[in-house]
Amino acid sequence: MKTPLSEKSSLDDIRTRFDHDVERFSNLETGQAATVDAPLSMELITQAAVTATPVINRCLDIGCGAGNNTIKLLREYAGDFDCDLCDLSQPMLLKAKERISSETSGVIRTFQGDLREVPLPEEGYDVILAAAVLHHLREEEDWETTFRKLYSLLRPGGSIWITDMVSHENHALHTLMWKRYADYLIGLGGVSYQEQVFAYIDQEDSPRSVLYQLDLLKKVGFRTTELLHKHSCFAAFGAVKSE
């Protein structure tokens, strides 16, 4: 990425972009077309959540968008549970609540804002989902602060599941994987589409490697971490909080 962290999009910039992109993210199959293996990753994290945490009373979905991952989790669980939804975009939250309300009789609450600043109950969640959101974190302090809060929000025995864009620690491999991603985007929408996607990634995103994030999960307190899937510049992984 060429843009320095200090010059990347602000939270307000990101919120504004997503405010105008609600409909695209309201489809379980096509909402994340620019993400390699998005449907598979969503399936893997929701199946892992139900397997690792068989009793779900309340779920937190951060960067929930239009609610796709919570909907998928509810269908996988085949039961009702309460849902707390957190996102920068109020239009996204309204759409997510509308869609999720037809999937569960549980209580649905929405929280607009940055996860690090939103008041949420400690040890209040059985499952936390974080899909395509953590790559907006910038400095290492931002990452550690966020992961520590996520750990504190899970009850003992609860689990967190993440799907996201990732970087690579080896420069040559990083270049290779981003070349593969470029080829995927070109196949999806042509060179102009690939250039458009890479431009907004450069301006808006600051992903870290899978290894960095798995190590950070352990640093903040998780003893058990799992890598479910990795393809090119995208991965699905998570952790379980000890009881």
Domains defined along the chain, listed by start = 5-240 (3.40.50.150)
Query: pLDDT, tens digit, for every residue of 159-196?
Result: 999 999 999 999 999 999 999 999 999 999 999 999 99
Residue 109 contacts residue 83 (beta carbons within 8 Å):
yes
The continuous run of DSSP H or E covering 100 comes out as: helix 90-100
Per DSSP (E only), the strands in 41-124 are: 58-62, 82-87, 108-112
What is the mean predicted confidence (pLDDT) over 66-94? 96
What is the mean predicted confidence (pLDDT) over 185-208? 92
Per DSSP (E only), the strands in the chain are: 58-62, 82-87, 108-112, 125-131, 154-165, 224-231, 234-240
pTM for this model (two decimals): 0.93
How far is Cα 158 from Cα 239, in angstroms, rounded to an integer?
A: 9
Query: pLDDT, tens digit, for every residue of 109-127?
Result: 999 999 999 999 999 999 9
Residue 20: predicted pLDDT: 59
Residue 34: predicted pLDDT: 83
- Does residue 224 surpass a pLDDT of 80? yes
* pLDDT tier, 137 (very low <50, low <70, confident <90, very high otherwise): very high
DSSP at 155: E
Residue 219: predicted pLDDT: 98
Report which residue type is found at 107.
V
How far is Cα 94 from Cα 127, in angstroms, rounded to an integer?
A: 21
